[in-house]
Structure 1
Amino acid sequence: MKLSELSCGANGIVTSLSELPSATRKKLMVMGMLPDTQVTVVRLAPLGDPLQVRVRGVDIALRKQIAANIEVEVR
Protein backbone atom coordinates (compact mmCIF):
# COMPACT_ATOMS: atom_id res chain seq x y z
CA MET A 1 0.00 0.00 0.00
CA LYS A 2 1.16 3.55 -0.64
CA LEU A 3 1.55 6.13 2.13
CA SER A 4 -0.79 8.46 0.24
CA GLU A 5 -3.57 5.85 0.53
CA LEU A 6 -3.59 5.76 4.35
CA SER A 7 -6.45 7.54 6.06
CA CYS A 8 -6.07 10.17 8.76
CA GLY A 9 -4.91 8.59 12.04
CA ALA A 10 -3.76 5.35 10.39
CA ASN A 11 -0.39 3.76 11.18
CA GLY A 12 1.92 1.91 8.85
CA ILE A 13 5.46 0.56 8.63
CA VAL A 14 7.68 1.88 5.84
CA THR A 15 8.74 -1.01 3.62
CA SER A 16 10.33 0.73 0.63
CA LEU A 17 11.52 4.15 -0.53
CA SER A 18 13.07 2.81 -3.74
CA GLU A 19 10.62 4.52 -6.11
CA LEU A 20 11.71 7.99 -4.95
CA PRO A 21 14.43 10.01 -6.66
CA SER A 22 17.79 9.61 -4.94
CA ALA A 23 17.97 13.17 -3.57
CA THR A 24 14.45 13.01 -2.11
CA ARG A 25 15.07 9.56 -0.60
CA LYS A 26 18.25 10.79 1.12
CA LYS A 27 16.48 13.84 2.60
CA LEU A 28 13.67 11.71 4.00
CA MET A 29 16.12 9.18 5.42
CA VAL A 30 18.03 11.98 7.20
CA MET A 31 14.69 13.06 8.75
CA GLY A 32 14.19 9.51 10.11
CA MET A 33 11.97 7.88 7.50
CA LEU A 34 13.79 4.59 7.09
CA PRO A 35 12.57 1.09 6.18
CA ASP A 36 10.89 -0.70 9.14
CA THR A 37 9.97 2.65 10.74
CA GLN A 38 6.44 3.37 11.92
CA VAL A 39 4.64 6.34 10.34
CA THR A 40 1.30 7.86 11.33
CA VAL A 41 -0.84 10.09 9.13
CA VAL A 42 -1.67 13.01 11.43
CA ARG A 43 -3.85 15.06 9.08
CA LEU A 44 -4.61 15.83 5.47
CA ALA A 45 -4.89 19.31 3.99
CA PRO A 46 -8.42 20.29 2.92
CA LEU A 47 -7.62 19.61 -0.73
CA GLY A 48 -5.60 16.47 0.11
CA ASP A 49 -2.14 17.88 -0.56
CA PRO A 50 0.12 17.98 1.48
CA LEU A 51 -0.31 15.41 4.22
CA GLN A 52 1.24 15.56 7.66
CA VAL A 53 2.94 12.39 8.88
CA ARG A 54 4.65 11.64 12.19
CA VAL A 55 7.93 9.71 12.05
CA ARG A 56 9.92 9.03 15.23
CA GLY A 57 8.13 11.88 17.03
CA VAL A 58 8.75 14.43 14.26
CA ASP A 59 5.98 15.78 12.03
CA ILE A 60 6.78 16.04 8.33
CA ALA A 61 4.63 17.58 5.60
CA LEU A 62 4.80 15.51 2.41
CA ARG A 63 3.37 16.26 -0.99
CA LYS A 64 0.92 13.62 -2.13
CA GLN A 65 3.14 12.89 -5.15
CA ILE A 66 6.05 11.97 -2.85
CA ALA A 67 3.82 9.96 -0.48
CA ALA A 68 2.53 7.99 -3.48
CA ASN A 69 6.06 6.64 -3.99
CA ILE A 70 6.52 5.38 -0.41
CA GLU A 71 5.43 1.78 0.23
CA VAL A 72 3.97 1.00 3.66
CA GLU A 73 2.52 -2.04 5.38
CA VAL A 74 -0.55 -1.44 7.52
CA ARG A 75 -0.42 -2.87 11.05
Structure 2
Amino acid sequence: MALRFIAKDPNTNGTQCPTTWVDDEAEEIVVQGWKAGEALLTRCRETGSLPETEAVVRVPIRMVPALREACDVAERLGIR
Protein backbone atom coordinates (compact mmCIF):
# COMPACT_ATOMS: atom_id res chain seq x y z
CA MET A 1 0.00 0.00 0.00
CA ALA A 2 1.50 3.31 -1.02
CA LEU A 3 -0.76 6.18 -0.05
CA ARG A 4 -2.81 5.98 3.16
CA PHE A 5 -5.56 8.56 3.57
CA ILE A 6 -5.56 10.10 7.06
CA ALA A 7 -8.13 12.91 7.16
CA LYS A 8 -9.74 15.91 5.48
CA ASP A 9 -10.40 19.23 7.16
CA PRO A 10 -13.49 18.55 9.30
CA ASN A 11 -14.86 22.07 8.74
CA THR A 12 -15.20 21.85 4.96
CA ASN A 13 -17.63 20.25 2.54
CA GLY A 14 -15.26 17.35 1.80
CA THR A 15 -13.97 18.63 -1.53
CA GLN A 16 -11.10 20.96 -2.30
CA CYS A 17 -9.99 21.04 1.32
CA PRO A 18 -6.82 20.46 3.33
CA THR A 19 -6.05 16.74 3.49
CA THR A 20 -3.31 14.52 4.94
CA TRP A 21 -1.92 11.18 3.79
CA VAL A 22 1.05 8.95 4.60
CA ASP A 23 3.01 7.51 1.68
CA ASP A 24 4.64 4.43 3.14
CA GLU A 25 6.63 3.61 -0.01
CA ALA A 26 8.17 7.06 -0.34
CA GLU A 27 8.30 7.39 3.47
CA GLU A 28 6.63 10.80 3.44
CA ILE A 29 3.72 12.66 4.99
CA VAL A 30 1.72 14.28 2.20
CA VAL A 31 -0.29 17.44 2.86
CA GLN A 32 -2.80 19.26 0.67
CA GLY A 33 -3.40 22.81 1.77
CA TRP A 34 -4.25 26.27 0.54
CA LYS A 35 -1.61 27.99 -1.59
CA ALA A 36 0.35 30.64 0.24
CA GLY A 37 -0.12 34.19 -0.99
CA GLU A 38 2.73 36.54 -1.86
CA ALA A 39 2.76 38.17 1.59
CA LEU A 40 3.25 34.81 3.32
CA LEU A 41 5.82 33.67 0.75
CA THR A 42 7.81 36.85 1.36
CA ARG A 43 7.78 36.22 5.12
CA CYS A 44 8.80 32.58 4.64
CA ARG A 45 11.69 33.58 2.38
CA GLU A 46 13.12 35.63 5.26
CA THR A 47 14.45 32.36 6.70
CA GLY A 48 15.73 30.90 3.42
CA SER A 49 15.10 30.41 -0.27
CA LEU A 50 12.16 28.54 -1.72
CA PRO A 51 13.35 26.15 -4.46
CA GLU A 52 11.19 25.67 -7.56
CA THR A 53 10.61 22.05 -6.45
CA GLU A 54 8.99 23.10 -3.17
CA ALA A 55 5.83 24.96 -2.15
CA VAL A 56 4.44 26.67 0.91
CA VAL A 57 0.91 25.59 1.81
CA ARG A 58 -1.31 26.61 4.68
CA VAL A 59 -3.43 24.25 6.76
CA PRO A 60 -5.75 25.33 9.57
CA ILE A 61 -4.81 24.66 13.17
CA ARG A 62 -7.86 22.42 13.42
CA MET A 63 -5.90 19.95 11.25
CA VAL A 64 -3.38 19.33 14.06
CA PRO A 65 -5.09 16.04 15.05
CA ALA A 66 -4.82 14.81 11.45
CA LEU A 67 -1.16 15.78 11.27
CA ARG A 68 -0.51 14.02 14.57
CA GLU A 69 -2.30 10.94 13.29
CA ALA A 70 -0.18 11.00 10.12
CA CYS A 71 2.95 11.18 12.28
CA ASP A 72 1.69 8.30 14.43
CA VAL A 73 0.91 6.16 11.37
CA ALA A 74 4.36 6.85 9.93
CA GLU A 75 5.96 5.92 13.25
CA ARG A 76 3.98 2.66 13.50
CA LEU A 77 5.08 1.81 9.96
CA GLY A 78 8.68 2.34 11.01
CA ILE A 79 9.13 5.40 8.80
CA ARG A 80 11.82 7.61 10.24
Interval of TM-score (by shorter of Structure 1 and Structure 2): under 0.3
The structure where strand makes up a greater share of residues is: 1
Normalized per residue, the structure richer in helix is: 2
Q: Bigger radius of gyration, 1 or 2?
A: 2
Greater relative CO (CA pairs within 8 A, separation 6+): 1
